[in-house]
Structures are given as structure tokens and as C-alpha cells.
Homo-oligomer: A and B are copies of this chain.
Amino acid sequence: MTRNPFQAPEVASRRGGPAKDPLSRELIVTTALTLLRREGSAGMSLRKVAAALDTGPASLYAYVENLQELQALVLDRALADVHTDAGHGQRWQRRITELLLSYREVLCATPGLAGIAMTTIAVGPNALRITETLLGHLDKGGLDRATAAWAVDLLTLYVTAVAAEHSQRDADTLGPVARAIGAVSAEEYPRIFAAREDILMGPGRVSWALDVLLKGIVQTPRGHRRRSAEHG
């Protein structure tokens, strides 16, 4: 009996008093996101959230099913910052690109959030708003519904993965990789050796990839052109 956490009723806390705010799912999610922003994924444990709220870890289970649900709630809360209405008057491709770059920025702005997005299937109101907007743009572009649905999945999965990959790469990890690629033997891996400068890439990779995706999507329709509305 799992319920949709975004539709679950608020549980009113019995604790009152002036000293500390009463617990609520709202407060727990806010506290968790604050800890995540401050200390990264290591900072957002149930125990640390509970400690920040001056209670024991067991108390949170009255408001949240488990850690996974808390992560889903925190993710959707963070996704509130994604701009879904930028680029008015631009071409639909440009609007999609701007939306996705905003999504990426939000994921990268909070350490550990991209990792959560990678392991959490987002179905909160903000994730739905993003999906709805992307479907709208693709519809404007003349794509049929089936293609648009898969396109949204492809686009968001790629951007999420890029953000997650990027968030892994700090100074500790980039160094060894650069050394490994730089040390590759020209005899054994001639093409990697020849392309090693290009592989240790720079900026512009994500924009290029989004161009690739959009061009490819337009040319790979899955069904028929949409005619007017529904058809059996």
C-alpha cells in the first residue's frame, strides 16, 4: 500500500510550544534541502535532518515513508526553481533548450541533487510541470504524441545524467581521469590517443548534445503526424 506522497494529507504535529516549530512534512523537506545545499548528499541523512529539527530519527517516520520518499520530495521542491516559461517568442527548439539548461542548472546548483534525480523517478508537481511544458513545445514543433513522449524521456534523462556525471567530477576525480587518458598507449589505443585532447572536452558539450538530440528527434518520428485531436 504505497501512496502518492505528493497527495498524502499533511500530518499535524502534536508538539507545540514556543521553543521549536512543530514538525510537518513541509518543515522536514525544507530542512533536508537546506542541509543538502550546505553539506551535499552526505549532509542529508534522516539522522541529520532529525538532529537539525531537535528530535530523534524515528520521529520523521510519522511524516515520511522512508529516505527514498524524502529524497523524492526534496527533488521536486528543488525543481520549483526550473524556469518553464523562458524564451517566449523563440522557436520551439530554443525554448526546449533553455528549459533543459535551467533544469541542469538547478540540478548542478545543489550538490548531490543530480544523484538523487538519477535514482528517483520524478512524479511530483514540478516534474509534471516540466514534462507538460516540454510536451507542449514538441507539439508546437509538429511531433506526434508518441514521439514527443519518448523525446521528453530522452532529453531529460540525458540532462539528468550529464548533471550527475558532472557532480561526480571534482578535483579528486578529474585528475586521475586526465592522467589515465593522457597516459594511454598510442599503439594499443591509437584513436583514443589521437583524440585525447577532444575527449578531455570543454564547454559546449551539452549544447552540442541537445542540438544533436533535437535534430535527431525531428527526423525520427515514431508514429503518424498528429492530425487534430484524439483518434482511436
Report A129 CB to chain B, min CB distance, Å. 8
Is A150 within 8 A of B4, CB to CB? no
CB of A158 closer than 8 Å to a CB of B: yes
Which of A13-21, A23-31, A177-185 participates in binding chain B?
A177-185
Is A154 within 8 A of B209, CB to CB? yes
CB of A153 closer than 8 Å to a CB of B: yes
CB of A59 closer than 8 Å to a CB of B: no
Report A104 CB to chain B, min CB distance, Å. 13
Is B212 within 8 A of A177, CB to CB? no
Fill in one digit per residue for A178-201: 1 if any B CB lies within 8 Å of its CB, else 0: 011101100011111011001101
CB of A169 closer than 8 Å to a CB of B: yes
Is A150 within 8 A of B2, CB to CB? no
Given A153-B205, A205-B150, A216-B216: A118 in contact with B195 (beta carbons within 8 A): no
Is B205 within 8 A of A211, CB to CB? no
Which of A46-54, A95-103, A217-225 participates in binding chain B?
A217-225
Closest residue to A189 on the B side, CB-wise? B132
Is B220 within 8 A of A215, CB to CB? yes
Closest residue to A198 on the B side, CB-wise? B149
Considering the complex of A and B, which 4 residue pairs feature the smallest CB-CB distances, nearest first? A216-B216, A149-B198, A212-B216, A161-B161
- CB pairs A–B below 8 angstroms (14 shown): A118-B164, A121-B169, A128-B192, A132-B190, A145-B198, A150-B209, A153-B199, A157-B162, A157-B165, A161-B161, A194-B230, A208-B222, A212-B219, A215-B215
Interface residues of A (CB under 8 A from B): 2, 4, 6-7, 115, 118-119, 121, 123, 128-129, 131-132, 135-136, 139, 145-146, 148-154, 157-158, 160-162, 164-165, 168-169, 172-173, 175-177, 179-181, 183-184, 188-192, 194-195, 198-199, 201, 205, 208-209, 211-217, 219-220, 222, 230
